[in-house]
Amino acid sequence: MVGHYGALALYVLFALFPLYWLLKISVTPNSLLYTEGITMWPSVTTWENYRFVLLQSDFPAFFKNSVIVSLGTAAIVTVLAAATGYAFSRFQFTGKTLVMFVLLLTQMFPLVMLIAPIFRLMVPLGLTDNLTGLIVVYVAFNTPFAAFLMQSFFDGIPRELEEAAMIDGCTRLTALRRVILPLTLPGMGATLGFVFTAAWSELLFALMLINSTDAMTFPVGLLTFVSKFSVDFGQMMAAGVLALVPACLFFAFIQRYLIQGLTAGAVKG
Amino acid sequence: MAAVSIDRVHKSYGSVGVLHGVSLEIDDGEFVVLVGPSGCGKSTLLRMIAGLEAINAGDIRIGDRVVNNVAPKDRDIAMVFQNYALYPHMSVSSNMGFSMELRRFAKSMIDSAVGRAAATLGLGELLQRRPRELSGGQRQRVAMGRAIVRQPQVFLFDEPLSNLDAKLRVQMRTEIKALHQELKTTAVYVTHDQVEAMTMADRIVVMHGGIMQQVGPPLEVYDRPANKFVAGFIGSPAMNFFDGVVAANGAGRYVAMGGDVRLPIPDNSRAEVGRRVTYGVRPESIRIDADDAGSVPASVEVIEPTGLSTLVYSKVADALVCTFTMERPDLERGQPIRLAPDLARVHVFDADSGERL
Ligand SMILES: Nc1ncnc2c1ncn2[C@@H]1O[C@H](COP(=O)(O)OP(=O)(O)O)[C@@H](O)[C@H]1O
Ligand SMILES: [Mg+2]
């Protein structure tokens, strides 16, 4: 027991330490950053970095862009993935194996390889340097994995539940809405959260497709804190801490859907 | 309530045939049990009646309507699944009332129908629980309740008792039969358990390899099995089989086995001299230590007393024979005995086709 907890505590410490460091530097006055040496906590703390980031930088705009892109992506992907996953789980159709194989294939290439062709495609479509383009790309790249994730959630729901509903008086669609959907909510929540975080922290495409400050998401924006001659660590860390807030809020919100065992009791126990 | 008519129905999955031309007329109010080993196509047939599987060829009628292309919800049937398939996110009463709710019955009517069904099944206390808060037996009852609430034309059961422990299974068996006698709704019941089939059915349908082997009242199927498969499948302990060739002497025909054992055949049998046959006789149709003309020598191998009765296993030539007796014979291993099959209850099957002769 003690061993287990010890090992877990050590792991948690290891995983969370960078976050702690982020927090620490974000409240350290610039003047102390290099003069105090390495300390666990600065002798004086300040909110100056936060004040600057929130009131004097473009960070609020980046933040808003990120929220729009991530929420949009997560919502669209979850709906698409749920539909795809349901079809994969419940129907036999010609070409199913091929479709699944192609979806899997898209996951196999390093994104860097695809950047140039995608850029070439997006320019004539007018999808560069705006949030819509970014959402389109994120949806395309997140849907396959999310679809397989959703399929596994649908696979976990016994087919007989739908069949019972269809005998009770549902069409396939009403059965989906009244019986399957309520039981897949945890799965949808997990997918939503997963895609949201992936989109929230994506840098590569955002960097390549976005030029103007107006359309920058926060990971790109964060780089603007690195100027040609210096890195403003304090402000950067403050922005980083603020960027963590939505992800935390989001997981707090969906975690009640993640609670396992909702389908327990459907079938024999 | 309605009759169900199954007319030359075929089913295959890809190139694999599962049902090969099944025809069956089920009367209004009848309790029919489909029985057969696992994989013989019972569930497939039941699910085709329910509308959960497409019909490749042939017709299924419920009442006088061909339902081949009718959606499950419009067939006016109810089904109890092996795993119960209760809706986990709904209370017991919502589970039971779901079909009426979908058909837009008034709340008060649903409540009274659910209340009646719950009272019949002893579920009154549990109406507000979720399925996961119930025991296996209670879930089974809720599944039954969900089926009877709406008073459908036909009940379909797919191995509804096989997830229960042995004692509960016997109890629910009786309850389902009693329920059917009260409701008199046509029922099609699938099981692989021949005891369930024998005890519950008005008529048994024995299936094997996607083909109906025999249809009839339980005792008729038991007493006059149409072929060797049915003979071996129905009845526990199972029928004894011996392979041999039909021969005759002054006293009549008999089946000659190895070791010069001669098994007498009844006079009305169609087995002619020289034919290779399988000779079948049930354990309870053999008398031990008889000195009859037709008795054969055997030696005792194993004795299994159950209290109520005794099973005696003995060797006849090379074959192991099971004998059932209500007595408590005083026998020991290796003891020589004589066994006399009851001629009126001997079955002779063709060795190749397995058909009754
Ligand atoms: N969806 C399916 N796809 C392919 N084969 C199937 C499918 N469903 C059932 N089968 C096959 O059909 C045969 C009959 O199955 P089933 O009706 O479930 O048997 P039973 O209920 O008598 O045990 C089995 O051999 C099974 O493997
Ligand atoms: Mg089955």
Q: Report the CATH number at residue B330.
A: 2.40.50.140
Closest in A167, A261, A263 to B77, CB measured: A167
Q: Is B18 in the pocket of ligand 1 (CB under 6 A)?
A: yes
Read off the pLDDT of residues B99-119 as tens digits, 9 standing for 90 and up. 999 999 999 999 999 999 999
pLDDT at A263 over 50: no
Q: Is B191 in the pocket of ligand 1 (CB under 6 A)?
A: no
A1: helix, coil or strand?
coil
**Inter-chain CB proximity A169 and B89 less than 8 Å:** no
Read off the pLDDT of residues A164-179 as tens digits, 9 standing for 90 and up. 999 999 999 999 999 9
Q: Is B40 in the pocket of ligand 1 (CB under 6 A)?
A: yes
Q: Which ligand is in closest contact with the Cα of B209?
A: 1
**Inter-chain CB proximity A183 and B89 less than 8 Å:** yes
Across the range A46-50, mean pLDDT stands at 88
- Same-domain pairing of B250 and B227: no
- Same-domain pairing of B160 and B282: no
**Cα-to-chain-centroid distance, residue B171:** 17
- Say how many CA atoms lie within 13 Å of A218 toward its Cβ: 28
Q: Which ligand is in closest contact with the Cα of B44?
A: 1
Q: How far is A197 from chain B (nearest CA, A)?
A: 29
pTM of the entire predicted model:
0.84
Question: By the CB < 8 Å criterion, does B78 face chain A?
Answer: yes
- Same-domain pairing of B33 and B166: yes
Domain boundary among B191, B216, B233: B233
- The residue that leads in pLDDT, A260 or A155, is A155
pLDDT at A62 over 70: yes
pLDDT at A260 over 90: no
**Inter-chain CB proximity A268 and B103 less than 8 Å:** no
Q: Which ligand is in closest contact with the Cα of B159?
A: 2
| CA of B41, closest atom in ligand 1 | 17
Closest in B51, B88, B133 to A262, CB measured: B88
Residue B49 lies in a domain: yes
B247: helix, coil or strand?
strand
Paired with B9 in beta bridges are B22
- Same-domain pairing of B116 and B207: yes
Enclosing domain of residue B51 = 4-233
**Inter-chain CB proximity A167 and B79 less than 8 Å:** yes
Domain boundary among B233, B263, B292: B233
Q: How far is A180 from chain B (nearest CA, A)?
A: 9
Question: By the CB < 8 Å criterion, does A265 face chain B?
Answer: yes
Q: How far is the CA of A96 from the centre of ligand 2 (A)?
A: 26
Q: Is B41 in the pocket of ligand 1 (CB under 6 A)?
A: yes
Question: By the CB < 8 Å criterion, does B110 face chain A?
Answer: no
- Same-domain pairing of B107 and B135: yes
> What's residue B69's pLDDT?
94
CA distances from A46 to A26, A29, A32, A39, A42 (A): 8, 6, 11, 16, 10
**Inter-chain CB proximity B73 and A183 less than 8 Å:** no
CATH number of the domain encompassing residue B63: 3.40.50.300
Phi, psi (rounded to 5 degrees) for B170 = -65, -40
Domain boundary among B217, B233, B249: B233
Residue B355 lies in a domain: no
Give the count of domains, chain B: 2
- Same-domain pairing of B229 and B246: no
What DSSP character marks residue A232?
-
**Closest chain B CA to residue A165:** B99
Paired with B255 in beta bridges are B246, B263
pLDDT at A149 over 70: yes
- Same-domain pairing of B167 and B274: no
Question: By the CB < 8 Å criterion, does B45 face chain A?
Answer: no
**Inter-chain CB proximity A263 and B73 less than 8 Å:** no
- Same-domain pairing of B222 and B190: yes
> What's residue A211's pLDDT?
86
Average pLDDT, chain A: 86
- Per-residue confidence band for A267, with pLDDT thresholds at 50, 70 and 90: very low
Closest in A166, A174, A267 to B72, CB measured: A166
- Per-residue confidence band for A261, with pLDDT thresholds at 50, 70 and 90: very low
What CA–CA distance (Å, rounded) separates A144 from A97? 14
Percent helix / strand / coil, chain B, rounded to 5? 30, 35, 35
- Same-domain pairing of B183 and B61: yes
Residue nearest to atom 5 of ligand 1 (CA): B13
Q: Of A71, A72, A66, A52, give the one whose Cα is nearest residue A216.
A: A66
Type of residue numbered B191: T
Tokens representing residue B261 in the block: 């054992």
Question: By the CB < 8 Å criterion, does B8 face chain A?
Answer: no
- Same-domain pairing of B125 and B245: no
**Inter-chain CB proximity A169 and B77 less than 8 Å:** no
CB B202 within 8 A of CB B32: yes
Question: By the CB < 8 Å criterion, does A165 face chain B?
Answer: yes
User: Domains of chain A (ranges plus CATH)?
Assistant: 1-46 (no CATH), 58-263 (1.10.3720.10)
From chain B, pick out residues whose CB is under 8 angstroms from the CB of A268.
Answer: 83-84, 136, 139, 163
Question: By the CB < 8 Å criterion, does B104 face chain A?
Answer: no
End-to-end CA distance of chain A: 30
What CA–CA distance (Å, rounded) separates B102 from B97? 9
- Same-domain pairing of B223 and B254: no
Interface mutation vs chain A, best among B49, B75, B79, B146, most A CBs within 10 Å? B79
Q: How far is the CA of B158 from the centre of ligand 2 (A)?
A: 7
From chain B, pick out residues whose CB is under 8 angstroms from the CB of A158.
Answer: 83, 85
From chain B, pick out residues whose CB is under 8 angstroms from the CB of A262.
Answer: 88-89
Residue in this structure with the two tokens 């926060």, named with its chain if needed:
A218
Residue B357 lies in a domain: no
Tokens representing residue B321 in the block: 């024979």
- Same-domain pairing of B285 and B160: no
Read off the pLDDT of residues A63-107 as tens digits, 9 standing for 90 and up. 999 999 999 999 999 999 999 999 999 998 999 999 999 999 888
Residues of chain B with pLDDT under 50: none
Across the range A36-55, mean pLDDT stands at 84
What CA–CA distance (Å, rounded) separates A226 from A212? 16
Q: Are strands B203-208 and B240-249 parallel, antiparallel or unpaired?
A: unpaired
